[in-house]
Amino acid sequence: MKKKISYAVSAALNDYLLKYGRHVASVPDIYRDLSRFSGTAPYESPAGTETLWHSVMYPPGEMAELRPRLTRIYASLKMGGASEVARHLDVERIDFGEFGNSRPFRIRIINRYNDNFDHYYVKAADASRIYGLELEHILSPTRINYLVNGDTLIEEHIAGLPGDVFLRDWLHRDELNEVRVAKEFVKFNERCFIRLLGDMRAVNYVVDITPDFEEVQYRVRPIDFDQQSHEGGKKMYMAQYFSDNQPMVKMIDNLLNHETIEQYRKEERTLVARRCTVAGRRLGALLDVMALDELSPAENIGQLRQELAEHHQSPAFNSCTTMGAIVRAHVGLLLDGPY
């Protein structure tokens, strides 16, 4: 995969974000200011292992100027801007990730009264990622909390066990309900393919583990949306084909027969179709804008259009000239409805 370029937020997309409360002018456009750090130190996990993050440092005067802006962002994200009830919040640490396309900053906010903490992310605004976030919000079983202003994208932390950690440390535990995990991964794979979210390697999703009254429930959630309908290869949108997901694929092959897999895929398509019905106007408005935006090189569009037409044996993609149009045709084809 070549490194994906960043696509600017168009005027039409900005109007959509304004209409649906995602563009908030009171949120400081702060990404470039955060990039002016003066020093870094490697960040290690609580277990003492190396990570891809670096804790960054700023001159005292610069940090004094950043601190109230960062707590105000948190108040806007979590409390709709109620900064008067957030005066006890402070910035404990700022980490920088020099990886991927978004080059994110992770902000650790701490409550000075009880030392409870939370995180959010500051990233460079990219149209592909915003479309990915919005499609996740509309089509997935969980909501997404994010805000945009200028060149800055603010994202809420998505909690869960990183996929690579789950596959390494949890997949063969005796207490793991393997059938439920297998079912959820089939449904996750289907959700990503329906809306053409690519690059779901194990580091780009988390597994949310929730105790239930009789058993444990599992949900796989993407945390990286940079590759929303960008690549040309069809397999890029199927998590099952990534090498680091093969332990999960092998487990599915051992536990689920073809009929059961098809049942779970049909279940997921039905649920996504119902969400489309509920949010039909919003989804239609989003796809209208997306179909006009440049989100990928022409060769990727042509390749994906051809591969999907062959995969589905359908002419539904013949007139698609943008990635947004391909997404609309694919959602409509799989969910049997005009979107």
Query: Tell me: the pLDDT tens digits for 212-252?
Result: 888 899 999 999 999 999 999 999 999 999 999 999 999 99
174 and 282 assigned to the same domain: yes
Q: How many domains does the chain have?
A: 2
pLDDT at 3 exceeding the cut of 90: no
pLDDT at 202 exceeding the cut of 90: yes
192 and 304 assigned to the same domain: yes
- pTM of the predicted structure, to 2 decimals: 0.95
Strand ranges for 69-145 from DSSP E: 89-97, 105-111, 117-124
Q: Which residues pair with 39 in a beta bridge?
A: 57
Cα→Cα distances 171→192, 245, 250, 261, 280, Å: 21, 11, 11, 19, 38
Averaged pLDDT score across all residues of the chain = 94
24 and 103 assigned to the same domain: yes
Q: For 77-91, 142-156, 215-229, which range has the lowest pLDDT when averaged over its residues?
A: 77-91
149 and 174 assigned to the same domain: no
315 and 226 assigned to the same domain: yes
Cα→Cα distances 191→65, 110, 183, Å: 42, 35, 13
Residue 89 tokens read as: 């919040």
